[in-house]
Amino acid sequence: MGKSKGGYYAVRNGRSKGVYNSWSDCLKQVTGYSNASFKKFDTMAEASAFVSGGSRGGSARASTAHNSPSNGPYSLSSSRSYALSYAQRSPGQVSKSLKATDATPDGASTSPQTVDHSKHIYVDGAARGNGRGNARGGAGIYYGPGDPRNKSIPLPDTTNQKAELLAMREGLKGALKDTSNKYTIHSDSQYAIKSSTIWYKRWEENGWKNTKGEPVANKELVQDVVQAKRALNDVYESKGWGKVEIKHVNGHSGDPGNDAADALANRGADAVKD
């Protein structure tokens, strides 16, 4: 088997065992994974043998997962603690000063954490009689089948846009309560997604005025969502996970997560008292 100019990265213990052609792909499999084991080889045959349990060699400790490994087996472990006061705070009291402490002295006991990058939160909002005044609505936040965190929030006198933004905010706050995992937020509202990822930048620059010079609609809710997103980004980036992903899903398209969030939102609307 010929040699690869960049080498072959063998992951014997990680999220997905196998041989990878780049350090960045290898890194995704081992960062934050408890007792991860990986090694760089010059040939595919050697890398495959290592994955299968051969070519053990001596062991070494990787001090950081951001440096490319030399040709030796590695085991990653890290311990961090984070100030996550945001998740318990009310809207408008968001702290952007989340800090990470990475210092674990050599030889100190650590508590490795397994990061599951497939965690998802689906959010949805509903408003019955939207735009007609005193519309009853609800917000739904869905983590998965039977998850006790699944939530329906009744929203009296609301609009569809307010309900979607509130659902987005609650989803981000939910992710902040579980920073041992990285979450992707899914919403069927282009308004909520673009407000929190694109439009807010110009609104901030313009003093929270729209292109007509008028106050931005639902300003306080948009600000809450943006602050929650920034707080979560602070945590994720300090862990080397990048930014939180907020993805669009087509509504009423048969997507199980979106359908479940929609049902929770409508349950919230049902609970609004006359």
CA–CA gap between residue 255 and residue 259 (Å, rounded): 6
**Per-residue pLDDT in tens (0 to 9) along the chain, 274 residues:** 444 556 788 888 888 888 888 777 777 777 656 677 888 888 888 888 888 876 443 222 232 333 334 444 443 332 222 223 333 333 333 322 222 223 333 222 233 344 555 699 999 999 998 777 778 999 999 999 999 999 999 999 999 999 999 999 999 999 999 999 999 999 999 999 999 999 999 999 999 999 999 999 999 999 999 999 999 999 999 988 999 999 999 998 889 999 999 999 999 999 998 7
Closest CA to 170 of 122, 240, 235, 116: 122
Return d(Cα 157, Cα 133) in angstroms, integer. 7
Domain spans of the chain, in order of start: 8-52, 118-271
Angstrom distance (rounded) from CA 260 to CA 115? 25
Q: Which CATH number fits domain 118-271: 3.30.470.30, 3.30.420.10, 1.20.1050.10, 3.40.50.720?
A: 3.30.420.10
Quote the pLDDT of residue 116. 54
- Spatial contact of 142 and 175, defined as CB atoms under 8 Å apart: no
Which amino acid is it at 214?
Answer: E
pTM for the full predicted model: 0.60
For the domain 8-52, what is the CATH code?
3.40.970.10
